[in-house]
Amino acid sequence: MGQRAAAGAALLVLLGGAAPPAQDGIELKRFKASEKSDAMYVLRATGCRKAGDTCQLELGDGKRKVTLPDGMAYGIEPGALDSWTSGEEERNVTTTVQPVRLEADAWGLLVTQEGGFEHVHRRHRLYVMKDGGVTEAWNGDENFAGPEQSHVGPYPLTPGSPAEGFYREYSFLSAEPDAWKLDAYRWDAAGRKVVKELRQRPARYAAIIGSFKTVQEAIAYREGAQQEQVCAAGFLVLASTPHKRLTPGLFIVTSIHPEKKSAEAALKKVSACNPKVSGYIKAL
């Protein structure tokens, strides 16, 4: 793999410079697909020959290949970890790849593409190996209807198990009120498909600084808590009813965190910024 990584780095330099890519495209990286065989996911950039062209990103190296939803401008630059970026402002596209161990001996790839300037939108896909080729097993795109945020990632299904699930966390910023949702999924090996995971979900903790009977009261409280320093930045106004562990029929001013410690830190930060604000932690 060391030789492959070195070759990939050299090819990336070529893609960003004047030299055109080879006819079969530029190999960006390989990802393991199986513990039992040499099967690999191969990520390539194809179809761009000169500056101004758009590269198509493909996953393949088997009987079938798939094309990722968004093309990327000629001059793809490697980013942190397994990510690649190209383009400027409205044409900017970043592709991020996260391996997820769907079975003890089989891997899938979670791929996120995000683009845009003032309003960034994201497309999420899970790709798996099937019958010797690559196929799309799940997608979770944003609606592209307004100020949305979402991200995906793997998480452990049970302690000690090598198999992982994956989640999609989503928020939509609105005044009527905001929306937040966490969906969890796992790979059904027998059915060869993605299914929702309802029991072993990833943990989330709400740092709550206020609960109110109306959405208008909650929004007003959040705005009052901000002060000039925007003390409550990142806090949402959410309806409590969809969350079984919260008192129904209320509207809460909250920020959501994957760990209890980070939720506690958020409360300390907002209280230090505005001493009139205090709160508590609830598991969701």
Of residues 169 and 6, more confidently modeled: 169
Q: Are strands 40-46 and 66-67 parallel, antiparallel or unpaired?
A: unpaired
Question: Which amino acid is present at 7?
Answer: A
Q: What does the pLDDT read at residue 210?
A: 96
What is the per-residue pLDDT across 208-217, written as a single tens digit (0 to 9) for each?
A: 999 999 999 9
Write 186-191 long-range contacts (CB < 8 A, 24+): 186/102, 186/157, 187/102, 187/103, 187/108, 187/128, 187/137, 187/163, 189/102, 189/103
Task: Please give the structure tokens belonging to residue 240.
Answer: 């409590």
Asked if the model's pLDDT at residue 114 lies above 70, the reply is: yes
Q: Which residues, listed in sequence order, are joined to residue 168 by a DSSP beta bridge?
A: 152, 183
- Of the CATH numbers 2.40.70, 3.30.70, 3.30.1490, 2.40.50, which one belongs to the domain with range 205-283? 3.30.70
Of residues 155 and 6, more confidently modeled: 155
Q: Which residues contact 148 (CB under 8 A, 6 or more apart)?
A: 121, 122, 142, 170, 171, 172, 173
The rounded mean pLDDT for the chain is: 89
For the chain, residues classed under CATH 3.30.70 are: 205-283
What is the per-residue pLDDT across 200-245, written as a single tens digit (0 to 9) for each?
A: 999 999 999 999 999 999 999 999 999 888 999 999 999 999 999 9
What is the per-residue pLDDT across 59-68, written as a single tens digit (0 to 9) for each?
A: 998 788 999 9
- What's the whole-number mean pLDDT along residues 174-183? 92
Asked if the model's pLDDT at residue 8 lies above 60, the reply is: no
Asked if the model's pLDDT at residue 10 lies above 50, the reply is: no
- What's the whole-number mean pLDDT along residues 252-277? 96
Residue with tokens 């960034």: 120
Distance from first CA to last CA of the chain, Å, rounded?
Answer: 41
